[in-house]
């Protein structure tokens, strides 16, 4: 496993406390996006298609700390955009660590080596580097040559300075399982602390709409990859049941509140992947979002989603409810043969709503009036 023991114990205790308190919905990981600006424009990314005035917005350290305290999740993933473009990021990371949280700093690593001296190794802090496969796969995915090489150099430099470093790998249609398996063997040699792997979410604003995986193809791909990984000791920092879900063996419903997102617009409804509206406070997000309108089977935009943002929290809750099942899967690894779990029917899902343009117009009007984007909910 790529999850450190102290994190497993603390998060496990937190989850048990939530269950004992009878809380039906609770956050596990806060997705904190202090900016949307990025120094790459990846083909499968739907996060950065905003006017410059919005891309120039930043969350201040105080806003980040308020979000961390309001939410209460034990883990904070700092994402974006490219977080290392935010000048106050070292201060933000330190402040979150000081609040007793586990911090994952998601980065494309282009600036990582240059900025390493502004961070300090800590047992609860990890860089989480975006790496979508070997050199050719990754450079194609980020639409720029040389990025893989710089990312690997930055990972090695960070490891040499004593940092924990994980990678975040997104797979798309056409990924070759043998090649992905070779890639996982290669990164293991670098001594990575963990790999987080998922199929890409079909962002409606992503420039390339042709290469997102549907659910069936994603499950077959993951079975092929996991089959090649038997006995190799790949370190995933995801729960065993989530990996089993990727391999088609669990019929999970999405729990989008497990990874709530705070960005420059406020608290995003319903999840990290979909911006269908925003709340001013975390409490308002939890209490006023109509959660039943989302998830596979409920909403067209969720039909093919199998991303950890929605399903890792489901897997963790399942592990708490069925510890023996979780232990069995952890010991034998994801099942790669036999029938897959029944798929959720899509007949009754509601059609996709096109909200992006309205949302951007409202945001631009707020900025023109000198207001903060997060001051108004919708
Ligand atoms: S299935 Fe869940 S995580 Fe995926 S897009 Fe829909 S609400 Fe978000």
Number of H helices and number of E strands within the chain? 14, 9
CA distance 325 to 224: 22
Q: How many CB atoms lie within 10 A of CB 121?
A: 12
Which strands, in side-by-side order, build the sheet including 125-130? 194-199, 164-171, 125-130, 102-107, 75-78, 29-32, 261-263, 266-270, 275-279
Which pLDDT score is estimated for 349? 94
pTM for the model stands at 0.94
* 3 state SS of 171: strand
Verify whether ligand 1 is closer than 6 Å to residue 264 (CB atom): no
How is residue 136 written in tokens?
A: 């050719």
Start-to-end CA span in the chain (Å): 40
Distance 301 CA to ligand 1 centre (A): 8
Quick one: which of 42, 60, 67 has its CA closest to 280?
67
Distance 123 CA to ligand 1 centre (A): 31
Residue minimizing CA distance to atom 3 of ligand 1: 310
Please report the atom of ligand 1 found closest to the CA of residue 259.
3
Are 338 and 28 contacting, i.e. CB atoms less than 8 angstroms apart? no
Which pLDDT score is estimated for 102? 98
CA distance 102 to 63: 18
* Residue to substitute in 261, 269, 310, 352 for testing ligand 1 pocket (most ligand atoms within 8 angstroms of CB): 310
Verify whether ligand 1 is closer than 6 Å to residue 309 (CB atom): yes
Which pLDDT score is estimated for 254? 95
* 3 state SS of 266: strand
Verify whether ligand 1 is closer than 6 Å to residue 27 (CB atom): no
Burial (CB count within 10 angstroms: exposed 0-12, middle 13-18, buried 19+), residue 232:
exposed
What are the residues whose beta carbons fall under 8 Å from the beta carbon of 79, sequence distance 6 or more?
31, 32, 33, 106, 272
Which pLDDT score is estimated for 357? 87
CA 50 to chain centre: 20
Verify whether ligand 1 is closer than 6 Å to residue 270 (CB atom): yes
Burial (CB count within 10 angstroms: exposed 0-12, middle 13-18, buried 19+), residue 365:
exposed
Distance 205 CA to ligand 1 centre (A): 16
Which pLDDT score is estimated for 1? 65
- Residue 267 belongs to what domain range? 5-377
Verify whether ligand 1 is closer than 6 Å to residue 313 (CB atom): no
Which pLDDT score is estimated for 214? 86
Mean pLDDT by runs of 10 across the 378 residues of the chain is 84 91 94 95 82 94 98 96 97 98 98 97 97 95 95 97 96 93 94 93 74 86 95 92 97 96 96 94 97 95 92 92 94 95 93 90 89 72
Q: Are strands 261-263 and 266-270 parallel, antiparallel or unpaired?
A: antiparallel
Number of independent structural domains in the chain: 1
Verify whether ligand 1 is closer than 6 Å to residue 248 (CB atom): no
CA distance 295 to 271: 10
* 3 state SS of 69: helix
Q: How many CB atoms lie within 10 A of CB 321?
A: 10
Are 165 and 192 contacting, i.e. CB atoms less than 8 angstroms apart? yes
Please report the atom of ligand 1 found closest to the CA of residue 295.
1
CA distance 133 to 184: 8
Q: Which residues pair with 125 in a beta bridge?
A: 103
Alpha-carbon distances, residue 281 vs 71, 258, 265, 350 (angstroms): 9, 16, 11, 27
CATH number at residue 263: 3.20.20.70
Which pLDDT score is estimated for 377? 59
Q: How many CB atoms lie within 10 A of CB 118?
A: 13
* H/E element, 194: strand 194-199
């Amino acid at each position: 496993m790529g999850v450190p023991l102290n994190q497993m114990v603390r998060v496990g205790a937190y989850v048990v406390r939530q269950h004992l308190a009878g809380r039906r919905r609770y956050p596990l990981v806060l997705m904190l996006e202090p900016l949307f600006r990025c120094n790459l424009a990846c083909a499968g990314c739907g996060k950065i298609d905003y006017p410059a005035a919005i891309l120039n917005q930043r969350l201040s350290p105080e806003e980040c700390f308020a979000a961390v305290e309001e939410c209460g999740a034990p883990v904070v993933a700092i994402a974006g955009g490219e977080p290392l473009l935010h000048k106050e990021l070292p201060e933000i990371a330190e402040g979150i660590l000081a609040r007793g949280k586990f911090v994952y700093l998601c980065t494309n690593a282009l600036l990582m080596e240059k900025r390493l001296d502004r961070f300090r190794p800590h047992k609860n802090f990890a860089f989480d580097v975006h790496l979508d496969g070997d050199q050719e796969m990754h450079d194609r995915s980020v639409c720029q040559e040389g990025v893989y090489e710089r990312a690997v150099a930055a990972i090695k430099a960070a490891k040499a300075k004593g940092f924990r470093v994980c990678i975040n790998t997104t797979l798309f249609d056409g990924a070759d399982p043998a090649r992905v398996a070779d890639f996982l063997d290669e990164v293991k040699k670098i001594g990575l602390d963990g790999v987080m792997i998922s199929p890409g979410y079909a962002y409606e604003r992503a420039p390339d709409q042709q290469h997102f995986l549907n659910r069936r193809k994603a499950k077959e791909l993951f079975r092929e990859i996991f089959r090649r990984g038997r006995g190799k000791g790949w370190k995933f920092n995801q729960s065993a049941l989530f990996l089993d879900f990727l391999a088609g063996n669990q019929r999970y419903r999405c729990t989008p509140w497990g990874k709530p997102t705070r960005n420059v617009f406020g608290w995003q409804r319903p999840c990290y992947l979909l911006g269908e509206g925003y709340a001013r406070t975390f409490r308002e997000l939890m209490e006023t979002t109509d959660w039943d309108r989302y998830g596979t089977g409920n909403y067209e935009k969720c039909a093919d989603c199998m991303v950890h943002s929605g399903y890792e929290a489901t897997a963790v809750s399942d592990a708490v409810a069925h510890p023996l099942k979780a232990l069995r899967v952890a010991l034998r690894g994801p099942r790669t043969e036999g029938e897959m779990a029944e798929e959720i029917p899509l007949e009754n899902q509601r059609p996709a709503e096109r909200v992006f343009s309205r949302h951007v117009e409202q945001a631009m009007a707020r900025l023109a009036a000198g207001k903060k984007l997060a001051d108004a909910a919708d």
